Structure 1
Amino acid sequence: MTQPVLDIQQLHLSFPGFNGDVHALNNVSLQINRGEIVGLVGESGSGKSVTAMLIMRLLPTGSYCVHRGQISLLGEDVLNAREKQLRQWRGARVAMIFQEPMTALNPTRRIGHSDDGRDPPSSTNKSSGSQS
């Protein structure tokens, strides 16, 4: 049997609160194999975003506590990975589409190349033709 691309085993996570810990994830397990496309669905507050943010390690350091469990990406430990390794994984090996993807776009930054392989038009480019 082949190794899962993403393997989450018995994950327990909480956030510190004023009146004690808030347990956000309780015994979450999930395996995603090569070629599978997965969407997390559930009620509001059920832990979908927390799970996805933890997989990507986008939760602020020190804002949460993993009590038990593990996450591996292609056999590599996600929870103990260094920031440099995480940057190499994000986008190349793992990605996330946020609930409001338009909030992730910055209108002043270029996204990339268009489908036809040409650079997108730039507002700083001037027409080379002369005007009368």
Structure 2
Amino acid sequence: MRLNKMRTIYLLLTVALLSSCSKKITPEKEGECTKYAIVSISRIEHVNDSIKVYFNVNNGCGQFNKFIEKDSAGAHIVTVQAVYKGCFCTMDIPERSASYKFKPTKSGTSFLTFRGVNGDDITETIDVK
């Protein structure tokens, strides 16, 4: 009887010690390694009714997040916001692309200005009928 009691105590202590020393790997908290940044547009291409916008991100985690649009002095200004998700990213500067579809509010000539690299903006003229 005494031997069974000793075994039970030994087993409980072993389980308690082993479970307290286990290293649990917790998943990343949502948004812990997520960053947003405005990136420069390097070039554009017309593809049917939309415009394919190319831009470079600062590392391998960078992806397209959204277009930010603003009207200023008769021009429609378009910038790209990138999202960087992940704590461990490759150290390269890949080129990404996204399709932009212009939705005019009035007929006539519209000027689209895409924010480019080092202040070299890309301006596109679109005639809306």
* TM-score, length basis structure 2: 0.22
Q: Highest Rg: 1 or 2? A: 2
User: Structure 1 or 2: larger strand share?
Assistant: 2
* TM-score, length basis structure 1: 0.22
